[in-house]
Amino acid sequence: MKKIPVRNISSSREPSSGRFSIRKVQDVLDGKELLHDLHRHNFFFVLVLQAGEGIHEIDFTPHKVVDHSVFLLRPGQVHQLHLKAGSTGYLMEFDNEFYHPQEKAAVQRLRKASGKNYCQPEVTRFEKLNAVLSNIFEEYTNKQEGYQEAIKANLEIFYIEFMRQSADPGNAVTPVGSYIQERYEEFIDLLESHLTTLKQVSQYTDLMNLSSYQLNEITKTAVGKTASALIDEYIILETKRYLLATPNQIKDVADHLGYEDVSYFIRFFKKHTGYSPDAFRRNFK
């Protein structure tokens, strides 16, 4: 079973713990185009472009790269990036070890921001984000006393600014109470960790000490979907990732995702996508 290619942060481990890197996009490109094939990574990926042209596909949703673009990926997502020469901005990468806020509001902010993969703020708002990254770049380059703490403080400011500036009226999320948000995030964390072994709502309610009704009310209030629908979405998304990013046979993908009955797995995938796994691979790879 071949795994989806995973790329690592191109930096050494920071002296305290975790990995962090920030580079100028123009230095990464070095006058050439950048073309990354479909892959995933186990860290947060932040690409902020002052000027840019190309295509950035994140979990099979293509985004046109334009000036003043902001892209955020969370660990586990797959993407492929084509960035043309002449693009400028910052590329920042860090793992959970380096930046793991403890305050609940900051944790929720990081998760919400990472769930919005793309935004294009107006110029004045973009410049505020860019200024924060400029501060982070300076701290990382100079490495004066306390620079890691300064970077983490600026990361928090960056995410505050991003959430202020990335509002999308067409995709507005209804504000929910802190309890609903916390339990919803707990469910998503469990789902991401146990997707290949736990596929029934009752299995998650047991772990969370909730009834199925309570969990469904939480997920419907948070994102307008039932717990079962979210489980199915995550299974389909992970299936697509393996179909397009690896050459694995369908039976191997089914086995990896915890399905012993390959025929059932094929029917399940076709029901939710309109394609058999083979047809999906042929049409979209």
Distance CA 261, CA 237 (A): 19
Q: How many domains does the chain have?
A: 2
Q: What is the pLDDT of residues 63-87, one digit of tens each?
A: 999 999 999 999 989 999 999 999 9
Do 120 and 98 fall into the same domain? yes
Do 131 and 242 reside in the same domain of the chain?
no
pLDDT classification of 147: cutoffs 50, 70, 90? very high
- What is the model's pLDDT at position 14? 54
Q: Check residue 175 and give its pLDDT.
A: 54
Pick from 77, 69, 96: nearest CA to 38: 77
Task: Provide the domain limits for residue 57.
Answer: 6-171
CATH number at residue 96: 2.60.120.280
